[in-house]
Amino acid sequence: MRISVEPRHTYKLINHGPTTLITSAAGGKRNVMAAAWVMALDINPPKVAAVIAEDTYTRELVDASGELVVALPTRAMVDVTYAVGSVSGREIDKFEKYALKTSPATKVAPPLVEGCAAWLECRVIREPHHEKAYDLFVAEVVAAWADDASWKNNSWQFANDDARTIHHLARGDFLVSGPHVKAKAL
């Protein structure tokens, strides 16, 4: 079940560096792409930084709407994650082609892709220089959600191996998030 994550805990959803799916929507069009270059940027109110390349359809839609959703695909979604990162939404409707089910977000237009471990609904804070110079977008997280099968007491406790986050190395080779290790005080 999808549960709300409080703003002050939202950074913990992505602090471990998972690869993400970014959905976008504008003018009746929508798209989804894979993005590894996404990180937390602030705790409360939560912000994220994300690289969205200049020539992508996602960039066009995010430019137009100022909205995006950053979602965390699971190990079960590794094939589709790589697939949506390898073709452009200008040519095909990736949701249709890859049979991605979605549900509406609560505060932004881009949809939530079903089956993910978490979703961050975001509004872009316009930073024209960084967008142009580095393809770097800054966004405030206006709502956040997690799958309660894997998110316990505001921490990841993945329900099973298929529910784990994935971390792209290159060319479709991913590392799955592994076991917990607790640092001992020195």
Build a one-symbol-per-residue string for 153-172: x at contacts with its own copies by CB under 8 A, - elsewhere.
-xxx-------x-xxxxx-x
Please give the distance of CA 143 from its chain centroid, rounded to a whole number. 13
Give just the sign of the alpha carbon dihedral 13, 96, 75, 149. positive
Cβ nearer to its own copies, comparing 119 with 137:
137
Distance CA 73, CA 22 (A): 10
How many C-beta atoms surround the C-beta of residue 98 within 10 A? Answer: 17
SS3 label, residue 77: helix
Which two tokens mark 142? 């206006």
Cβ nearer to its own copies, comparing 122 with 166:
166
Query: Among the candidate windows 42-50, 62-70, 111-119, 140-148, which touches its own copies by CB under 8 A?
Result: 42-50
Whether 118 and 105 have beta carbons less than 8 Å apart is answered as: no
Query: Among the candidate windows 63-71, 115-123, 126-134, 139-147, which touches its own copies by CB under 8 A?
Result: 126-134
Binding of its own copies by 18 (CB under 8 A): yes
Tell me which residues touch its own copies (CB under 8 A). 12, 15-19, 36-42, 47, 49, 51, 75, 78-83, 98, 127, 129-130, 134, 136, 138, 154-156, 164, 166-170, 172-186
